[in-house]
């Protein structure tokens, strides 16, 4: 995507629209070049990004450590906590304010949101400090203190944070855990999944600076990488699963549970760590004189921390081979009545192993835990996924795999899923389709099963390159633009360049941007760099527009010179037309019309096959093209009378 190529593309596009009236109907518009925007261009000038898709030589990343103590009180459904956050400014900029997310204020009265929420009062702040100096609440950020505005808090330290400096922040707070219906977390009284629960520093990056947009319920998250040291106190008998390694198993787990975990780490079968018998006998955890236990978890280089707890959880465990001799523990926490969850650990193990191979980036974390809970679908967190609802084996597999695939996008490859939702959901949906075909032996790419085709060309579709909070609130547009269409586009790219080259570029993108914050242009540039070709014509119609592809068999004629197949391009999205001809002796021949023909403005091209009696002609027989009307892709000969 060089400036020269972009300029040539613009000039070529202008020349098409300047055609004379007599020729205007013969040409088609071609896609405009991908335009990065001034902020990304400045990042390139500053040496933090490149047009090859590599992080630049001056790339930097601000980091933090979170040291937290948490008390979960199931009887009152409350969380009380304190934290000390150490934040390091690795940027070349002086930071005069420090934006902090208070996402539980989504449930406070009067807060702007784009989906209905239960009102629980939001976050109740106690003390707030910077470098151990207490801050007072203000109504504006013009003087030292802090200002709360909905789900955002802005800290104004007495002294700015200079490049290379570290600042120490302190917080105490509490909130009521919302009930079922809250997005992505909550409680039904029996189980608690606690997420988006602590004051978290906004991301300061090399493209935009502070990314401190409000959490309104729909759009998801952009989070920085940090280390966590968290102590969670819960009643005796309440199992706790969380992001990170359990540092004090001897203090909270029974001897039997620890022995079963050791077996799960080496034996091939799933091991029942906590059983129904343990629940009935009150031996799911250790007990204490105080009536509560403190579970201590540590996690490194993750973008978030969540935890789950229940006194009704069964616990299954096994392990996954992540490649290069590595392993990771697999855990499933679920209630006895969720019988289908007996396969959860199996599905988790398969997911980690498949994705470690597929993405060429072995799963780096010590465990992956799936938790049965109160959400309607599933939601991802580092080393955790929260899945609710009654579902079949195949449905549980699908949501489990999808959420675990998020461990790579955006948990390792830390994209801004709020601004560019497709960068995690689209890639994860592509991975899920590939795994579904592998695990269940089905055609997961059948257009009948891809939601994109139900909305494409209807006027209700919106483009993937749209902010997560700016999709229509009704209908399926957000889901299809973020999930299905990008997955279909990646499948189309794979069909165009072949499996080997596609995965070479895909894996390289994951490696380059692991533990960094890529923009869409970094993904586009990486693919183009690895493949050695300009693909603006591919990215623009599928990610920036709602243009559609429609190839059709216009005519088939036979003669001494061969069989001539004329293919019409009736849409706006360019793509190669792969044509398969089947003869009456079952011989098949395939040829392709390059996308270059359509990019030159052609609407009709023909390809000549060897002579013979043809009984069938099909465009895109392998189903890679995102063709919105496949009814005109097939021609069959009339029966011989």
Q: What is the largest CA-CA distance in the chain?
A: 95
**CA 607/CA 613 separation, integer angstroms:** 16
- pLDDT bin (cut points 50, 70, 90) of residue 641 is low
Measure Cα distances from 138 to 130, 143, 144, 145, 360 in Å: 15, 8, 8, 6, 49
Measure Cα distances from 503 to 223, 444, 483, 488 in Å: 27, 18, 19, 15
**CA 611/CA 583 separation, integer angstroms:** 9
Residues 494-516: tens digit of each pLDDT: 999 999 999 999 999 999 999 99
Non-local (6+) Cβ contacts of 405 within 8 A are 351, 355, 427, 428, 431, 432, 435
**CA 571/CA 542 separation, integer angstroms:** 12
DSSP 335: -
The answer to whether residue 8 scores a pLDDT higher than 70 is no
Residues 126-142: tens digit of each pLDDT: 999 999 999 999 999 99
Query: How high is the pLDDT of residue 184?
Result: 94
Average pLDDT rounded to a whole number, residues 13-28: 43
Neighbour-count burial of 369, counting CB atoms closer than 10 A to its CB (0-12 exposed, 13-18 middle, 19+ buried): buried
The answer to whether residue 355 scores a pLDDT higher than 50 is yes
Report the relative pairing of strands 191-194 and 124-130 from DSSP bridges.
Answer: unpaired
Residues 587-623: tens digit of each pLDDT: 999 999 999 999 999 999 999 999 999 999 999 999 9
The answer to whether residue 262 scores a pLDDT higher than 80 is yes
Query: How high is the pLDDT of residue 417?
Result: 97
**CA 155/CA 129 separation, integer angstroms:** 9
């Amino acid at each position: 995507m060089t400036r020269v190529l972009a300029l040539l593309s613009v000039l070529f596009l202008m020349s098409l629209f300047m055609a004379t009236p007599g020729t205007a109907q013969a040409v088609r518009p071609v896609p405009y070049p991908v335009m990065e925007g001034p902020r990304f261009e400045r990042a390139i000038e500053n040496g933090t990004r490149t047009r090859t898709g590599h992080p630049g030589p001056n790339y930097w990343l601000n980091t933090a450590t979170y040291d937290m103590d948490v008390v979960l009180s199931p009887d009152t459904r409350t969380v009380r906590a304190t934290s000390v956050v150490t934040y390091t400014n690795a940027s070349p900029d002086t930071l005069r304010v420090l934006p902090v997310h208070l996402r539980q204020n989504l449930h406070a009265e009067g807060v702007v949101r784009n989906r209905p929420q239960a009102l629980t009062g939001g976050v109740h702040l106690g003390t707030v400090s910077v470098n151990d100096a207490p801050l007072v609440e203000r109504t504006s950020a013009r003087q030292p203190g802090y200002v709360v505005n909905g789900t955002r808090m802005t800290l104004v330290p007495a002294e700015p944070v200079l490049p290379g400096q570290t600042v120490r922040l302190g917080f105490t707070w509490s909130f009521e855990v919302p009930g079922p219906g809250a997005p992505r977390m909550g409680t039904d009284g029996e189980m608690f999944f606690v997420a988006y629960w602590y004051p978290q520093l906004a991301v300061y990056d090399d493209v935009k600076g502070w990314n401190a947009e409000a959490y309104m319920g729909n759009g998801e998250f952009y989070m920085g990488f940090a280390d966590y040291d968290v102590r969670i106190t819960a009643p005796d008998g309440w199992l706790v699963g969380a992001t990170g390694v359990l540092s004090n198993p001897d203090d909270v787990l029974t001897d039997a549970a620890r022995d079963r975990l050791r077996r799960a780490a080496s034996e091939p079968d799933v091991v029942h760590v906590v059983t129904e018998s343990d629940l009935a006998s009150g031996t799911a955890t250790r007990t204490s004189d105080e009536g509560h236990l403190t579970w201590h978890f540590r996690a490194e280089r993750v973008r978030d921390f969540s935890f789950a707890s229940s006194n009704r959880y069964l616990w299954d465990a096994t392990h996954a081979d992540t490649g290069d001799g590595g392993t990771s523990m697999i855990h499933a926490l679920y209630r006895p009545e969720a019988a289908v969850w007996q396969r959860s650990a199996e599905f988790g193990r398969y997911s980690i192993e498949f994705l470690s191979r597929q993405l060429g980036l072995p799963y780096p974390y010590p465990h992956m835990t799936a938790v049965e809970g109160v959400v309607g679908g599933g939601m991802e967190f580092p080393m955790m996924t929260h899945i609710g609802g009654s579902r079949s084996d195949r449905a549980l597999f699908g949501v489990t795999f999808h959420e675990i695939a998020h461990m790579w996008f955006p948990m390792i490859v830390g994209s801004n899923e709020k601004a560019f939702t497709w960068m995690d959901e689209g890639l994860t949906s592509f991975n899920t389709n590939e795994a579904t075909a592998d695990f269940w032996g089905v055609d997961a790419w059948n257009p009948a099963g891809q939601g994109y085709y139900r909305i494409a060309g209807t006027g209700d579709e919106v483009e993937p390159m749209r902010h997560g909070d700016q999709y229509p609130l009704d209908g399926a547009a957000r889901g299809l633009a973020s999930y299905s269409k990008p997955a279909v586009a990646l499948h189309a790219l794979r069909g165009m360049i072949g499996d080997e080259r596609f995965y070479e570029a895909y894996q390289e993108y994951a490696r380059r941007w692991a533990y960094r914050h890529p923009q869409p242009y970094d993904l586009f540039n990486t693919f183009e760099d690895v493949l050695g070709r300009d693909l603006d014509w591919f990215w623009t119609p599928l990610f920036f527009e709602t243009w559609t592809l429609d190839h059709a068999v216009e005519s088939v004629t036979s003669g001494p010179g061969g069989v001539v197949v004329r293919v019409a391009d009736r849409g706006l999205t360019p793509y190669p037309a792969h044509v398969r001809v089947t003869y009456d002796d079952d011989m098949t021949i395939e040829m392709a019309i390059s996308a270059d023909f359509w990019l030159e403005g052609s609407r009709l091209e023909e390809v000549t096959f060897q002579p013979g009696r043809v009984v069938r002609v099909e465009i895109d027989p392998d189903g890679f093209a995102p063709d919105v009307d496949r009814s005109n892709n097939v021609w069959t000969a009339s029966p011989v009378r």
